[in-house]
Chain A
Amino acid sequence: MALNKLKFNSLNVTPTAGKTVGFNSDADGLEATLSGGSMTFISKQTASSSSSLQFTSGIDSTYKEYLFIFTSLHFSDDACNFKFNFRDGGSNFDATKTSTTFKAHHDEADSTTALAYLNRDVANGTGDQTVAQNIGNANDESLVGYMHLFNPSSTTFVKHFMGQTQYYETNNYTETVYFAGYNNVTAAIDGVKFDASAGTIDSGTITLYGIN
């Protein structure tokens, strides 16, 4: 016997593309006005003594903005740097970029503070973008942060990115780095690779979201 499944037009509500069926504000009828929210999980990479964490899918024209969140990244090598690069076609992560970086830091002994331009910028280069330096690798030391990537699938515009890292610096500083820049290419950006200047990413996660 064939099953009779309820079709989209079986419900007493006007169908609306992409909307979820919910109860109305009086809870006495259905409505199709709910959406899933503007921030959508795409994928997560979990480090386990990883030489790099790579996102090679899920970055396309689905969203105009993508967000990476770095949570509790712990590195195998003391005083290493955290960096990333973009893929603009092919298999290499070597998109040409121009960027700006600055930092603030403060040590636990209260002897040093700084707010200064950080010479980890790139000037139309293809090298990696460093966004944290001299990260501690003691058991309780780690890095967090985020990066926004705007409209990576555009074939008209350069691809802007901006973000911030916050970490336990190896000399017992709290240090935060602000960075921004653009991939100076009109080819689509379709991948991002994160790694360390030495050793591996021992543990932690990087999560990719799409923003509507």
Chain B
Amino acid sequence: MALTKFNYNSFDLTTAASKGLAFNSNANGFETSSAGSMTLIKTLTASSSSTLSFLNGSDSVVFDSTYPVYLFKYINVHPATNAATFTFQVDTGTNTNYNTTVTSTSFLSQHDEGDSATSLAYNAAKDQAQGTSFHVLSNEIGNGNDECGNGEIYFFNPSSTTFVKHWIARALSYQSDDYIQDRFFAGYFNTTTALTRVQFKMSSGNIDAGTIKLYGIKDS
């Protein structure tokens, strides 16, 4: 017996390009639905990893003009080495030097568990002025079993060949001296070449554990 296959026009609704099929708000009919504007592109999981890299066009990673805004979230990043700092850099084309020129701002709010110190201040030690080093995110993370770093970075229009590449980040750490550190960074990679890759690593030792997620944010 031949199977009956239903086609796109078999359903009782008006079809719309790139939409899904959903029940309406009364659950008594069909309507089209959108997929949402924020799409998970890739998750990398550290396992004693020296680096974690997201390369456009490799291993399902998209980091090009598909999306105007990209968001990285790193969760429970745990260093092998005590007081290691979680860092990132970018590169262009097929280059793997990860030394793109960057100018950035850096300030932090912090407080220790002993309630003996608090501060809110600019932190010139963690910014860069046309530097090419890996940029600090979560600073001096403790490597105790329950200690880790979390945070996020937004990249705007990284594939532009006209503008510098702005980014905004916020980074938390269980600092090795038992502080909560809440760090705020923003800046630009001072290049008009399209960025194609982002790499994360610790300032020393491996990324023992943790995940990094890359999302794309649509504008249509």
Contact = CB atoms under 8 A, between A and B. Distances in A.
Interface of A: 5-8, 15-21, 32, 34-41, 44, 69, 71-72, 74, 104-110, 113-115, 139-146, 164, 166-168, 173-176, 205, 207, 209
Interface of B: 6, 10-12, 20-30, 33-38, 68-69, 103-107, 120-122, 124, 127, 129-130, 154, 156-157, 160, 162-164, 166-168, 184, 186-188, 190, 192, 217-220
B166 A167 contact: yes
A176 to B, nearest CB: 4
Contact of A40 (B29, B36, B156, B167): B36
A135 to B, nearest CB: 12
11 contacts: A8-B29, A21-B23, A36-B36, A41-B37, A106-B124, A108-B103, A140-B192, A167-B166, A168-B164, A176-B168, A205-B219
A32 B20 CA distance: 12
B24 A176 contact: no
Contacts of B12: 5-8
A53 to B, nearest CB: 13
B186 A15 contact: no
A6 B156 CA distance: 43
Given A36-B36, A107-B129, A71 B187 contact: no
A115 B103 contact: no
A113 B105 contact: yes
B129 A72 contact: no
A59 to B, nearest CB: 16
Residue among A108, A167, A205 with most chain B CB within 10 A: A108
A13 to B, nearest CB: 9
B219 A71 contact: yes
A40 B156 CA distance: 18
A41 B34 contact: yes
B36 A166 contact: no
A106 B105 contact: yes
Contact of B122 (A8, A114, A166): A114
Nearest to A112: B129
Nearest to B163: A142
Given A107-B129, A144-B156, A74 B163 contact: yes
A69 B218 CA distance: 11
Contact of B107 (A36, A104, A145): A104
Nearest to B13: A5
Contacts of B11: 5-6
Contact of B186 (A6, A17, A166): A166
Contacts of B184: 104
Nearest to B192: A140
Given A40-B34, A104-B105, 18 more contacts: A15-B28, A17-B23, A21-B22, A36-B22, A37-B37, A37-B38, A69-B69, A69-B217, A106-B129, A113-B127, A115-B105, A140-B162, A143-B166, A144-B166, A145-B168, A166-B186, A166-B187, A174-B105
